[in-house]
Structures are given as C-alpha cells and as structure tokens.
Amino acid sequence: MNKNFTIIFILLTIFSMVKANDGFKNCNVLGSNVTMFDVQFNPDPITAPETSTTNFKISGDIGDFGADHGNIFSLGAYVTVQYRSNSIGVDPYYEFPIPAGNKNFATELNIATHSSVHQEYTLEFNIYDGSDHIGCVMFERSGFKQ
C-alpha cells in the first residue's frame, strides 16, 4: 500500500512540473526529468509559413541539474525551438542563449514559421546547460492560423 502511494506521489509531482499550452507532451531525453518548464505561444496553432510571427514565452528553472556549479545556469546554457514535420530533410531549428548566473530564466521570442514546415508538425522545446539536458516539452499540431 505504501509503495503504491509513493508511485502515485512521484507521478503527480512529475506532471505538475510542466506548465504549457494545452496538448503538451513530455519528451524526456535519456530519462532526464523535466524541471519547471513553461511554454506559452500565441496564436495556437502557429502562424502559416511566412505570413507573420508566433509569439513564444519560455521560462524554466535549472532545478538540481546545476549542482556542480551552484544550481545556476552556466555560460553554455541555451533553449532550443525545433519544428518537426519533415520525414526527409532538415527541420527548422533555433537556439537561443540563456543568461548565466541565475537559477531561473524567462524569454520572449517572435519566430516566423519557416516555409518547410508542413501542416502536420510538432513543436519541440529543450533546455540545455552545456551538455546537461534540463528539460523538454513538445506540442503536436495540425494546421496553421491564417
């Protein structure tokens, strides 16, 4: 009985760590845990390719991943935004630095949808601190805002 309670508590804790637009999915890499990670974007679904920009508000917390350097983001920290829709070819990928020296970060980005993004796509957001994967969240969508 106590073992079941522990498992339920862990699952509830994990799922409460991500705040995002509706329909998000956790996309852990190599079993890493998702820390506090918030991704909001407008419009949802994103704008049609080359029409205007989508506004992304991304924030996160390094959690316990930065223990070797004081639980703060280091100089090599960055957030990635990737549009996955091509089974063959290269998907658009963007990388933005996270300011070093803080436990938390927040950034606002305006990105135009690349012409290579298809109607069925996945938006994937990752936080890295050097080679440490801090968190990941993705959104599967169909269609564009015209």
Residue 75 CA to chain centroid, in angstroms?
A: 19
In the predicted structure, residue 105 carries a pLDDT above the cut 70:
yes
Token code pair at residue 120: 């069925």
Instruction: Show Cβ contacts of residue 90 under 8 Å, excluding neighbours closer than 6 positions.
Output: 116
pTM of the model: 0.80
Each residue's pLDDT tens digit, 10-28: 333 333 344 556 777 777 6
Q: Which fold has domain 18-142?
A: Immunoglobulin-like (2.60.40)
Token code pair at residue 29: 């890499």
Domain ranges of the chain: 18-142
- φ and ψ of 120, to 5 deg: -100, 115
Above pLDDT 70, what percent of the chain? 78
Q: What is the pLDDT of residue 14?
A: 38
pLDDT confidence bin for 63, thresholds 50/70/90: confident
Q: What is the pLDDT of residue 10?
A: 37
What ranges in the chain are assigned the alpha helix state H? 2-15
